[in-house]
Structure 1
Amino acid sequence: MMTKIWTRLVFTAPALALLSSSLLEAATAFSDLNIDAAVEKVLGKNELFDFETLQLTDDVLANLKDAGFGDEALSLFSPKSKPVKRQVVAKPPCKIYPGDATWPSGAIWRLFNVLLGGALIRTVPEASLCYPEWQIEHPTSIRSILFQGMTCMPPNYTAGFLGNTVNCSIGGFPEHSVNVSTIAQIQLAVNIARELNIRLVIKNTAHDFGAKSAGKGGLNLWTHYLKDYKFYSNYQTDTYSGPAFKLAAGVQVFEANEWAKQHNVTLHLLTLFPSVGFIGGYIQGGGHSPLTSIYGMAADHVLSIQLGVVTSMVVKVFPQLNITTMTYNVTTGGNFTHDKFWAMQRAYVDEFERLADLGYYSYYRIRHLGGEITHDVTSMVAPNTSEAGFRAALAPLFQKWADIGVPFQPVIRESDNYSDAWLAAFPHEGVFDEGANIILFNMRNPPGSELTDNAVNPAWRKMLMFAIMFVTWNVTDSTQHVTRLLRNLTYEWNPRWKTLTPTSGTYMPESDYIEPNWQESFHGSKYPRLLEIKKRWDPESVSYATNTVGSEEWMLGDTIMGHLPSQNSKLCRK
């Protein structure tokens, strides 16, 4: 069997334009991705899911001729092991877009759809009355709709501050999506995007706060329906021997949690939003969770990754844990004044190091509520801890709060497994005086985690608090008001945090869309090595997403409200 995964396929716009209807008929044979004449079944070192075995290999070229492709058609393809000398030309300044002279014709897209086995989807805006869809089940819809341009919103949510109307347009969504079911389809899409200079986009679920799954005129790889999983009771590598899960790219957190419970193990799962793709932006962005204080980051436990466009990962799992959780909320009012509220916060922060050293984790928010302040702990999580032990550990803090006069009525629960505790403790599916709201996490990375050789920012190995600022507004608010809030967040308030914590960093999946010096903030000292890897494996910059490695060589041609890069604009080299 072949062990080669990637084959370089060369598509040129003039050559594709010459394809005849007879070639379209021949391509029908190729579209059946279950026949050996079109796709090689590949076995790698690690066991592959069935969909991962269907790959294009060097032998495919010979088989294509048997499927009806002539010599002219085969000239469109070039295997990596037999590279064709390509004329050296200047790199195109911008990606191509609908309306450009070089944009593929409808016939070319139809051929591409045949080659994909009918998996190509033409984008229809999510709010179109004819196509009601839920964001996660939609091939292009995302949560970061502001950066997409909010071009197709229900009438009551049309953003007046953007000057939008109720008319729908595609805006910053990709033009076409591939509903991925085989690696061969990914290979075809990557190659056609590179050779025709089309922006390539990857989307799993809709949880994308940084607009990394958007892109005007793009070709989108939609991996949402890759749902395979396998449990290994004893997975072996050179450095690990123990239980593990192999999870496909479309597996969501709630699904992974259910499987972990079925197998009596614990997975390193994030807190809110159970519909997040587990091995997508969560792990690839580092991955913090209620288990970070005892196990480190989720990325620390990846045992293998399949492909450059990730189709699956193998990750470690841990024994079942006894877990105690606590939730509560307090709001100022009456005798509980703002001064008492901030005294409560000081007492809490003073306990951060001790609680993190115990292996505890907390997720809480501080928000405006009219003229009052509300503080709610979504959950404090104490792994390997009984309720009695937890109450004893928190007794000193509880006493301080009683002395201050905090109206405090916690809900404390003990569970014999993390899966049930996770479901019960988090309400799944959420500077201060100047208008910001704050989300805070108290956790640490355990000793020794800094020795892990991955792309996690070294700042995470020394942290006790991860804090997020956010602002909110109404769709009826003025452009001036919304612009002021957004500019304050980036240019006024965030620098104050950085002044207080000069050696810190941040978390890419929950960061400022225009994070200044994002290379340092996201990756710290790891960035130069990451950039070298990027240039080595993607020298033509086929893979791009906002604020990702190598993206500093590109810029979007338009802005929202004068300073936010708009995904509804052309992507060009600087």
Structure 2
Amino acid sequence: MVASTSLVWLLAAAYPLLNPVLAQTITVDGEAVPADESNIAPAFDVEGAPISDPLPEEEFQLTDAILANLTDLELSNVSLFYFDDGAPAEQKRSLLNLLKCKTFPGDLFYPTKLVWQVFNLLTGGALIETVPIGAVCYEGKHYDEAKCQALLENWTLSTTHINDPTSVMSPLYQGATCQPQNAATGGTCERGGLPSYSVKATNVAQVQLAVNFARNLNLRLVVHNTGHDFLGKSTGAGALSIWTRHMNSIKVIKEYVSPSYRGPAFKLGAGVQVQDLYEAAEREGYTAVGGECRTVGVTGGYTPGGGHSPLSPIAGLGSDQVLSIDMVTPDGRFITVDERNHPDLFWAVRGGGAATWGVVISMTVKVYPKMKFSGLSWAIDTISNNISEDTFWKAVEAYWRRFPLYSDKRSYGYTYIFPMGPGQYLWTMNPWIIANATKCQVQNLVGPLLDEWAELGFPLQPEFFEYDSFYPAWRGHFPGESVGMAEVRTGSRIIPRKNWEDEALLNDTMRTLRELVQEGAPLIHYNINAAAPDGTPDSAANPAWRDALMFIITGLSWAPDASPEEVKDVNERVTHDVMARLKAITPGGGGYGNEGDVMDPEFGQSFFGSNYERLYALKKKIDPLGVFYAPTAVGSEDWYISGQEDWLTRQTGRLCRK
């Protein structure tokens, strides 16, 4: 016998909120039957209410109609999968306020194996118990010599991690447990800060199940897309994780009409990566706005965090492209958010931070006509070219001083300076690119700089290029990203135009940047402007982006065998020395939350600026139970991770209210 679809709610009857014992049978038409896959239909067997232009992953939803069928069943407690509506929510709020910490493995009320098994049935077999990706290198049931060797050979590639439900590209915040390279030298393999379970989400109903389950059982909940996360936002010990990477549909909309926009658009599933977006745009005859890194999830952390882009000088931030958002909110509801519907959330999700407001299922974004892109790239080191340190810095500063001119030409320069030893450096341009410009126009713009370099004796010969569209320029000139480092901490800062309008401040700015590199900090920096295009609806994106001329990412590292004292010293220097000096030259300014300092004591000001007070008030209204938490996210100051040092918060302990 197969139970009706309404019986997907059997778990709520079999597992009352404050009872850790789950019955192994359910009652159907007065008859006790086993609780297994033979009589439990997945929660998405019933199609939800239609929405406009739905993607395949949006066709199946959890609805009140399904919950209403429970009245015909002999169920003792159905609250486990209920939406958070009305008076029951207030009662839960009062209860959860007494529970200081999220329910953790080993706690009395943490779900049993059988509870997880039934939850797996309800999601249609989408639940995954976490096994660290590096377990294939450690003795035990997961050991696999061939897989281990392949993992070691590809560990620093982002593609290695996006195919795993919980692996993160910055393992520092997960505790760097079960690192494959440590297996041969006495390392151990534990979950550390990885979630206990993950739901491989392919439809809305599965996400709603996970949100309601976590909220009603006071479980920690995290949202994980591609693992392209530098602050530990997409991982957490003992948590239930929603893995959104496989909701990756793309729909072309020839003409989208909203109060502020009429034109072509793409509807993007949550798992669409930058490379997917750019390939689709090229194929369909458009230009789309995304990041420079191939495996970043476009609608995941990237867009809610603001999202800087090679297209920012002509189109603004990634968040400025958003026309509509389909998402599951903390109460478990699936809603559409746009200029007319839920305008506060429409404002907040566009730049107000990831893993804060709910789970994005899809976003509809603007796209633009194909256009020409031209630019240049280079790589030069002082050792092989016999360049003195003084000449090198004069050449760099000659470039920096021209940032206002280049920005006015809608220029985007993406460059690294790496220290290679005392007085020695590598400088790469990765690339410098301008939309709607010919190679000849770029050469004319850059000509005076090259002339000045020639006079300095700086022997740089750049490679110029020209393409008829963005995709081949991006494929040919933007580098891949090396990931998987557990011994590095980074931070970021946006440097405004006003720093170029005051000669003394400009000199101080260039001196500070130069000294950081001379002291061993690599300098990733951009000549970028991200002003919102005319007519763009107001958003929560950091106002510091709007008059930017330069964006800095820097940090420090330590040796794998560094002592605890040495690791602490490096981490404290990042926050209280490196970032403090960058703040000193940008008073009242900001940084980029997706690539910021996780220990920034003024993270609200740094990552959200003047928007923070409004965002915090909205967070309390939208998510009063604290279903969604992430480090440096809005409202994160109300929480802490147990057992952490005051100089670095990893996601390896239980999440507790202050």
Q: TM-score, length-normalised on structure 2?
A: 0.80
Which residue does the alignment assign to 2:17? Answer: 13
CA–CA distance in structure 2, aligned partners of residues 480 and 449 of structure 1: 51
CA–CA distance in structure 2, aligned partners of residues 446 and 433 of structure 1: 32
CA–CA distance in structure 2, aligned partners of residues 545 and 458 of structure 1: 21
Say yes or no: does 1:22 pair with 2:26.
yes
What are the equivalent positions in structure 2 for 1:265-304 lying under 5 Å apart? Answer: 265-271=286-292, 273-304=293-324
What are the equivalent positions in structure 2 for 1:404-483 lying under 5 Å apart? Answer: 404-429=456-481, 431-446=516-531, 452-483=537-568
Say yes or no: does 1:537 pair with 2:558.
no
- Do 1:266 and 1:418's aligned partners in 2 also have CA atoms closer than 8 Å? yes
Query: Cα distance, 1:31 vs. partner?
Result: 3.2
Say yes or no: does 1:152 pair with 2:152.
no
- Bigger mean CA deviation after superposition, 85-94 or 206-215: 85-94
CA–CA distance in structure 2, aligned partners of residues 281 and 512 of structure 1: 16
CA–CA distance in structure 1, aligned partners of residues 103 and 470 of structure 2: 48
CA–CA distance in structure 2, aligned partners of residues 194 and 234 of structure 1: 38
Q: 1:127 aligns with which of 129, 134, 154?
A: 134
Deviations 1:117-150 (Å, cap 9, x if unpaired)?
Answer: 1111000111112275731111111012011111
Which residue does the alignment assign to 1:185? Answer: 206
CA–CA distance in structure 2, aligned partners of residues 156 and 74 of structure 1: 46
Query: Cα distance, 1:74 vs. partner?
Result: 4.3
Which residue does the alignment assign to 1:328? Answer: 378
Q: 1:86 aligns with which of 83, 91, 99?
A: 91
- Do 1:490 and 1:512's aligned partners in 2 also have CA atoms closer than 8 Å? yes
Query: Cα distance, 1:412 vs. partner?
Result: 1.0
Q: 1:344 aligns with which of 373, 389, 395?
A: 395
Which residue does the alignment assign to 2:363? Answer: 313
Deviations 1:63-105 (Å, cap 9, x if unpaired)?
Answer: 4577xx5333646554556754737334311112111122111
Q: Which amino acid aligns with 1:278?
A: V
What are the equivalent positions in structure 2 for 1:496-507 lying under 5 Å apart? Answer: 496-507=581-592
- Call closer, same or farther: CA 1:99–1:34 in 2, change over 3 Å: closer
Q: Which amino acid aligns with 2:248?
A: K
- Do 2:173 and 2:650's aligned partners in 1 also have CA atoms closer than 8 Å? yes
- Do 1:450 and 1:458's aligned partners in 2 also have CA atoms closer than 8 Å? no
CA–CA distance in structure 2, aligned partners of residues 481 and 78 of structure 1: 49
Say yes or no: does 1:108 pair with 2:115.
yes
Query: Cα distance, 1:437 vs. partner?
Result: 1.1
Give the secondary-structure state (helix, strand or coil) at the position aligned to 1:327.
strand
Which residue does the alignment assign to 1:4? Answer: none
Query: Cα distance, 1:249 vs. partner?
Result: 0.5
CA–CA distance in structure 1, aligned partners of residues 620 and 199 of structure 2: 26
CA–CA distance in structure 2, aligned partners of residues 278 and 447 of structure 1: 18
Number of corresponding residues: 554
Query: Cα distance, 1:463 vs. partner?
Result: 0.8
CA–CA distance in structure 2, aligned partners of residues 61 and 77 of structure 1: 9
CA–CA distance in structure 2, aligned partners of residues 55 and 447 of structure 1: 35
Q: 1:381 aligns with which of 433, 444, 450?
A: 433
- Do 2:403 and 2:549's aligned partners in 1 also have CA atoms closer than 8 Å? yes
Which residue does the alignment assign to 2:169? Answer: 143
Give the secondary-structure state (helix, strand or coil) at the position aligned to 1:54.
coil
Give the secondary-structure state (helix, strand or coil) at the position aligned to 2:306.
coil
Say yes or no: does 1:60 pair with 2:66.
yes
- Do 1:322 and 1:384's aligned partners in 2 also have CA atoms closer than 8 Å? yes
Query: Cα distance, 1:18 vs. partner?
Result: 4.4
- Do 1:177 and 1:219's aligned partners in 2 also have CA atoms closer than 8 Å? yes
Q: Which amino acid aligns with 2:305?
A: G
CA–CA distance in structure 1, aligned partners of residues 360 and 581 of structure 2: 37
Deviations 1:377-435 (Å, cap 9, x if unpaired)?
Answer: 11001110101111011111111111111120111110000111111111223522222
- Do 1:450 and 1:461's aligned partners in 2 also have CA atoms closer than 8 Å? no
Q: Which amino acid aligns with 1:393?
A: L
Q: Which runs of 5+ in 1 are unaligned?
A: 1-6
Give the secondary-structure state (helix, strand or coil) at the position aligned to 1:142.
coil
- Bigger mean CA deviation after superposition, 14-23 or 350-359: 14-23
Q: Which amino acid aligns with 2:417?
A: I
- Bigger mean CA deviation after superposition, 519-528 or 507-516: 507-516
Deviations 1:289-347 (Å, cap 9, x if unpaired)?
Answer: 11111111110110001113101000000111100121101212365110011101111
Say yes or no: does 1:488 pair with 2:492.
no
- Call closer, same or farther: CA 1:506–1:109 in 2, change over 3 Å: same
Say yes or no: does 1:97 pair with 2:84.
no
Q: 2:75 aligns with which of 58, 71, 95?
A: 71
- Do 1:13 and 1:104's aligned partners in 2 also have CA atoms closer than 8 Å? no
Q: Which amino acid aligns with 2:238?
A: G
Give the secondary-structure state (helix, strand or coil) at the position aligned to 1:539.
coil
Say yes or no: does 1:569 pair with 2:579.
no
Q: 2:450 aligns with which of 382, 392, 398?
A: 398
- Do 2:372 and 2:438's aligned partners in 1 also have CA atoms closer than 8 Å? yes
Deviations 1:437-476 (Å, cap 9, x if unpaired)?
Answer: 1111001134756974111111110110001112233313
CA–CA distance in structure 2, aligned partners of residues 75 and 147 of structure 1: 34
Query: Cα distance, 1:518 vs. partner?
Result: 0.4
Query: Cα distance, 1:233 vs. partner?
Result: 1.0
- Do 1:449 and 1:461's aligned partners in 2 also have CA atoms closer than 8 Å? no
CA–CA distance in structure 2, aligned partners of residues 423 and 415 of structure 1: 11
Which residue does the alignment assign to 1:3? Answer: none
- Do 1:30 and 1:64's aligned partners in 2 also have CA atoms closer than 8 Å? no
- Bigger mean CA deviation after superposition, 470-479 or 380-389: 470-479
CA–CA distance in structure 2, aligned partners of residues 564 and 214 of structure 1: 15
Which residue does the alignment assign to 2:346? Answer: none
Query: Cα distance, 1:199 vs. partner?
Result: 0.4
Which residue does the alignment assign to 2:244? Answer: 223
Q: Which amino acid aligns with 2:438?
A: S
Which residue does the alignment assign to 2:187? Answer: 166
Give the secondary-structure state (helix, strand or coil) at the position aligned to 1:86.
helix
Which residue does the alignment assign to 2:260? Answer: 239
CA–CA distance in structure 2, aligned partners of residues 414 and 209 of structure 1: 33
Give the secondary-structure state (helix, strand or coil) at the position aligned to 2:377.
strand
Q: Which amino acid aligns with 1:340?
A: T
- Call closer, same or farther: CA 1:281–1:35 in 2, change over 3 Å: closer
CA–CA distance in structure 2, aligned partners of residues 353 and 485 of structure 1: 34
CA–CA distance in structure 2, aligned partners of residues 170 and 217 of structure 1: 9
CA–CA distance in structure 2, aligned partners of residues 267 and 353 of structure 1: 25
- Call closer, same or farther: CA 1:112–1:156 in 2, change over 3 Å: closer
- Call closer, same or farther: CA 1:20–1:243 in 2, change over 3 Å: same
- Call closer, same or farther: CA 1:195–1:79 in 2, change over 3 Å: closer
- Bigger mean CA deviation after superposition, 464-473 or 427-436: 427-436
CA–CA distance in structure 1, aligned partners of residues 295 and 540 of structure 2: 25
Q: Which amino acid aligns with 2:359?
A: V
- Call closer, same or farther: CA 1:556–1:82 in 2, change over 3 Å: closer
CA–CA distance in structure 1, aligned partners of residues 522 and 573 of structure 2: 12
Give the secondary-structure state (helix, strand or coil) at the position aligned to 1:268.
coil
CA–CA distance in structure 1, aligned partners of residues 84 and 638 of structure 2: 26
Q: Which runs of 5+ in 2 are unaligned?
A: 1-8, 28-33, 137-141, 152-159, 328-357, 483-515
Deviations 1:241-286 (Å, cap 9, x if unpaired)?
Answer: 1000000001111111110001110001211x20111111111110
- Do 1:28 and 1:114's aligned partners in 2 also have CA atoms closer than 8 Å? no
Say yes or no: does 1:360 pair with 2:414.
no
Q: 1:551 aligns with which of 636, 640, 646?
A: 636
What is the aligned-residue RMSD (CA, Å)? 2.3
- Do 2:531 and 2:545's aligned partners in 1 also have CA atoms closer than 8 Å? no
Say yes or no: does 1:199 pair with 2:220.
yes
Q: Which amino acid aligns with 2:76?
A: E
